[in-house]
Chain A
Amino acid sequence: MASTGIQARMINEERQQRWRRFGIYAALTIVTIILVFPILWMISVSLKPTTETFSLPPRLLPEEFHWGGYAKVLSDPKFRTFLINSYIVGLAVTFLSLVIGTLAAFGFSRYRFFGDRVAKLFVITTQMVPTITLLIPYFGVIVFLGLYDTLWGLILTYLTFALPYSIVMMNGYLDTIPKDFDEAATIDGCSPLGVLVRVLLPVAVPGIISTAVYTFLLAWNEFLFALALTRSMEMRTVPVGISMMVGEFGLKWDEMMAFSVIGSLPVLVLFMLVQRFVVGGLSAGGVKG
């Protein structure tokens, strides 16, 4: 008797748990559909002729796929320039901040020295300085240096947010690698730089990838400096290019959304490929959004 009672209760509990799990899946599915919907709608609108952008009742899947927006955007050399500029700036900023940032991170992670806490707090503080406050003097300085309307101006100013981020992220990552690794190599006669390059970096590949991807994403998405420190069509990046389409084309939603999709694709693909590494690393660094 007692055992059937226990059994009944266990079955009951199991049933309850199954319902609870079903509820969680249902809630997650509904919430995710709602939150991802704006992105799906962007793709949908990019595949409809402008006459159908606001047609009722709305349809997520267009009756007939309209590739005109993509054709127009891909055939226009202007948009190719925006993409190339964004790649140049993104790759240069990522490379520079990764190399310089990893060196600094190695110093922070492997040595105790006079002023180390102050230096670390300084790096963290630089992430807090308002970008808009820096913009006005940067404009003056960049014009003065003759870097106005050049990609060099963007690469230099992007280091203000990319470099501290790389340092903090790589420092966090190097801290997770046991010090025994370097000690063994040092005894074998390795120089400090040799330890970093030959011993630590191969182990830190996931950290390097996630730092690189997120730095690239920050640079690719940056808007304020790109808007204010360049002027000519030849120097515009993807975000500024998209924002200028609004004024220029009026309401050609198919073309604007097609270029939005194309302009988001590189970071989207990168992020999805490495999101396993990236998501873990994001909160370790504290990331400017």
Chain B
Amino acid sequence: MTSMFRHMTTRGTPYLFLLPGLVILGALLSVPLYKVVEYSLYDNVIVEREPTFVGLDNYANLLSDSGFWSAGLNTIVFTVGSVLGHMVVGIGLALLVNADIAPRARTFFRSMLILPWIFTAVVVALNWQLLLNPFGLVNYVLQWLGLVSEPLDWLGNPDLAMWSLLLISTWRGYPFIMVSFLSGLQTVPKELYEAAEIDGAGFWHKFWHVTLPQLKPVIFGVALLDLIWTFQLFPLVWLSTGGGPGRATEVLSTLTFRLGFVDFQFAQAATVAVSILIISAAFTLLYLRNEARRL
């Protein structure tokens, strides 16, 4: 009896350790995911005690709404542009920091270059509103260099706002790529570089033929993560441009928030939220397939 009991508790031990975490996570996710789909099938949810069931009407309305499609297009531009910006700047800086310099200098530059990442989005947005102001420093420098003849309203001009947003997003997000790539670089066997050097390979040759192929899985995983998180990013966009001017930088996340917490149309907001969920679920599956191989 005792031995059987002991056997059972040993078998159950890992479940006991996991129980609190998995129960909390399960509850925090399953309830809202069920609810958000339910909301999207009703009208007047949350504000009315007895919402009306409307089936898929919200989805039909959404698909015929030009605002939804333009927000979708903006989301694609913002996500692809941001991820590209993060990758180029992040990988470039990782290579520079990883170059043959004194370890203390490396630590110093690395910690300085991570800084944009640790400020809250509000502070980032305020900083850039200040810099990109028509009377701000960016315009001053550009005029001094003779690149523009008169100050531009970077965040207030509908033709420029998305570019400005991409600049802000690149500044904010490159450190994650830099740090990930930097730690990936440490895993590349030194012999590969030595062999390439004996063959007379220069910097670019080594980068294209040793570093990139070796770090392909890392780059792929990190880029996907970045894509999934940028796709649903809310605070930076909302605080930098508020989706404006007009709807020039409205993305799906700011549209969701506006529908819910400005217009109080929570059912319509839930419908957009579900569409965000479906698209990011597709990318998540892609990411998990990549991760599952490593588990």
User: Which chain A residues have a beta carbon within 8 Å of chain B's beta carbons?
Assistant: 21, 24-25, 27-28, 31-32, 35-36, 38-39, 41-42, 45, 53-54, 56-58, 100-101, 103-104, 106-108, 110-111, 113, 116-117, 119-126, 128-141, 143, 156-157, 159-160, 163-164, 167, 192, 217, 220-221, 223-224, 228, 238-240, 242-243, 246, 253, 256-257, 260, 263-264, 267-268, 271-272, 275-276, 279-280, 282-284, 286-289
Contact = CB atoms under 8 A, between A and B. Distances in A.
B15 A113 contact: yes
Interface string B134-164: 0111001000000000000000000000000
Interface stretch (B53-61, B62-70, B188-196, B271-279): B271-279
A267 B118 contact: yes
- Central interface residue in A45, A217, A243, by most chain B CB within 10 Å: A243
B32 A141 contact: yes
Contact of A121 (B32, B36, B171, B295): B295
The 9 closest A-B pairs by CB, nearest first: A107-B17, A104-B21, A130-B232, A111-B14, A137-B32, A137-B35, A221-B120, A223-B235, A54-B135
B295 A256 contact: no
B283 to A, nearest CB: 8
Interface residues of B, number: 97
B32 A134 contact: yes
Contact of B291 (A124, A192, A260, A283): A124
A120 B295 contact: yes
B58 to A, nearest CB: 12
The B interface, classified by DSSP as helix, strand, loop or mixed, is helix
A111 B16 CA distance: 11
Nearest to B45: A140
A100 B130 contact: no
The A interface, classified by DSSP as helix, strand, loop or mixed, is helix
A100 B27 CA distance: 15
A121 B123 CA distance: 34
Contacts, number: 273
A59 to B, nearest CB: 11
Contact of A107 (B15, B229, B269): B15
A191 to B, nearest CB: 9
Contact of B120 (A128, A138, A238, A282): A238
Given A111-B13, A138-B32, A132 B253 contact: yes
Given A129-B280, A137-B34, 5 more contacts: A25-B105, A103-B21, A138-B32, A139-B266, A192-B13
B243 interface: no
Contacts of A238: 120
B201 interface: no
Interface of B: 11, 13-18, 20-22, 24-25, 28-29, 31-36, 39, 45-46, 93, 96-97, 99-101, 105, 107, 109-123, 126-128, 130-131, 133, 135-137, 140, 171-173, 176, 179-180, 182-184, 221, 225-226, 228-229, 231-232, 234-235, 239, 252-253, 256-257, 260-261, 266, 269-270, 273-274, 276-277, 280-281, 283-284, 287-288, 291-292, 295
B235 A217 contact: no
Contacts of A287: 176
A122 to B, nearest CB: 7
B274 to A, nearest CB: 7
